[in-house]
Amino acid sequence: MATTADFKNGLYIKYNDKPCMVVYFQHVKPGKGPAFVKTKLRNLENGRILENTFSAGMKIDLINVERRPYQFLYAEEDGFNFMHEETYEQITLPKDVVENSDLMKEGQHVEMMFWVDEDRCLTCELPTYVTLEVTYSEPAVKGNTASTNALKEVTLETGAKIMVPLFINQGDVITVNTTDRSYGQRV
């Protein structure tokens, strides 16, 4: 068992029987009263940030988390099918576990975080940038905007819709940032 003295950013712990990651911690020793540790914890199941204060020296449960490489195979109505890149083991994940799933195309490499003790998938993360083709785009008309940073909506090969600059046309291949669904660059 570990204590609050072992806290560091990125540490995986069990808090209220939920897997959490320490995002931020601060050891506070006030002039009067006992010392304590203020923390911000990210719940790995739903991504919420929890703020909590632990007494100094309090015992905590560490959890074993492992990242594994997978490849997206295909989608079904009940979830997504993935294959482990080294063991070729296939698993199906529910659609709510995969963030920005509409930016994922067949053959896409992803990284999954597993809670080893329970052999349960916590998150499925796409690479920071994915390369996709624009399948539908409205033509831009010169002089149609009042500002220089005008954007238009396009549809990508996976069916996702994002905002891009006016010079992007149908058939262009672009990179998309999966963290905020923004346009990266034309390839």
CATH number at residue 58: 2.30.30.30
Residue 60 pLDDT class (50, 70, 90 cuts) = very high
What pLDDT shows up at residue 176? Answer: 92
Find how far residue 2's CA is from the centre of its chain: 28
What pLDDT shows up at residue 141? Answer: 66
Angstrom distance (rounded) from CA 166 to CA 140? 6
> Are 117 and 145 within one domain?
no
> Are 73 and 53 within one domain?
no
For 53-94, give the DSSP string.
Answer: EEETT-EEEE--EEEEEEEEEEEETTEEEEEETTT--EEEE-
Final residue of a domain: which of 105, 125, 145?
A: 125
- Read off the amino acid at residue 178: T
> How many independent structural domains does the chain possess?
3
> Are 140 and 180 within one domain?
yes
Question: Does residue 54 contact residue 41 with C-beta atoms inside 8 Å?
Answer: no
- Residue found under tokens 């996702």: 160
pLDDT over 90 (residue 26): yes
Final residue of a domain: which of 125, 149, 168?
A: 125
Question: Does residue 4 contact residue 34 with C-beta atoms inside 8 Å?
Answer: no
> Are 55 and 7 within one domain?
yes
Which domain range does residue 115 map to?
Answer: 65-125
Question: How would you class 104 by CB atoms within 10 Å of its CB: exposed for 0-12, middle for 13-18, buried for 19 or more?
Answer: buried
What pLDDT shows up at residue 187? Answer: 85
> Are 52 and 96 within one domain?
no
> Are 160 and 172 within one domain?
yes
What would the pLDDT profile of 80-110 be if each residue is shown by its tens digit? Answer: 999 999 999 999 998 888 888 899 999 999 9
The CATH number of residue 161's host domain is 2.40.50.140
> Are 27 and 46 within one domain?
yes
Final residue of a domain: which of 62, 84, 104?
A: 62
